[in-house]
Structure 1
Amino acid sequence: MSGRGRYSGGAGRTALVGLLTGLSLICLYLAFLAPTGKLGVVALAGIFPAGAVVSAGLGAGFFSYAATGILGLLLIPSKSVALLYLIFFGLWPMMKSLLERMPSRVLEWVCKLAVCNLALVVLWFGLKALFLPFLPAALSQTWMVFGAGNLGFVLYDVGFSKLIAFYTARVDRVLRKNR
């Protein structure tokens, strides 16, 4: 993910970022409504800022993330859904874009895992009561949360890269043609 967008300014960029922000917010609301799979739906909400980064640049991604997070805190009854988005899933596309610019893949993955573990620390130790409903009962031990969290993160990041490649090849290509 390059972070250098195709839309450098103007109404097209504003409309695209607004649309992606709205889609993220809809996902957050669906996560609130979902009886199960809340974590997956919040993760889905984090895909849209990645589209903003690819199509309109890193600043647009941060704007989409911030707008979705603030509106999520204001409009969605379950604050845990909005906080999960703000602490990790919404922020990850921009962090990924920045970390993937590193010259070494080893250093890149060390930093990615550090970001993941920092988010886990905040979620587990700072906001544990809010996020226990998201976790399966088997993850009652701290070491299990961090082990499963790191494994899940690696799988999530690899899958996220594939989704970004799909977006770039299919969606962003169409957006560039229609500019």
Structure 2
Amino acid sequence: MDVLTHLFLPVAVAYAIRPDLFPSPRYFALAIFAILPDFDKLLGIPGLLHSVFAVGVIGSVAFVLERRFAGTRSYAAVATIFLASHLLLDFLDGGPVTFLYPLIETGVGLEYPSQIVFGDAVQDVAVRNPLPRVQADATNSAREAYSLVNGYGILSALVFVTVYFGIQSRRRYKDR
């Protein structure tokens, strides 16, 4: 999955559900946590940060630091949700996501083999393999490429912009 989808889709959902967690645009910087798991590729240890253990450790550190320095814990929760969203999006995109790394180095993801099959007549239409299936595979240790932008990323960015300006215009309308 590309960087833009990992950044904009979770922040659009979070902002749509809880806009009060983003009192100013600078709080959107928390979205950086949504791409943090892909840094395991940069480190040359694929799977290391795509693990519930890594999410737990990073989230716990964020909670402790926020609690100690700000006396709150809501932004650490948002950061942890962004971290977890990365794993979920990669799983939905086919993975493989190594949820239990380093205990289990095999990753899992969903595969969508469904097809609509057209016959010779209009009534000869069928759906083949309608349900997604879980596939297990070893993580890819190659470090040669990483998708920065694709159509889903652009769409995710547009969804975020729509949600953001929609909520902002609703706030301005209520303030009148």
Give yes or no for TM over 0.5. no
> Hey, which of these two has a bigger chunk of helix by percent?
1
TM-score where L is the length of structure 2 = 0.31
> More strand by proportion, 1 or 2?
2
Higher alpha-carbon Rg: 2
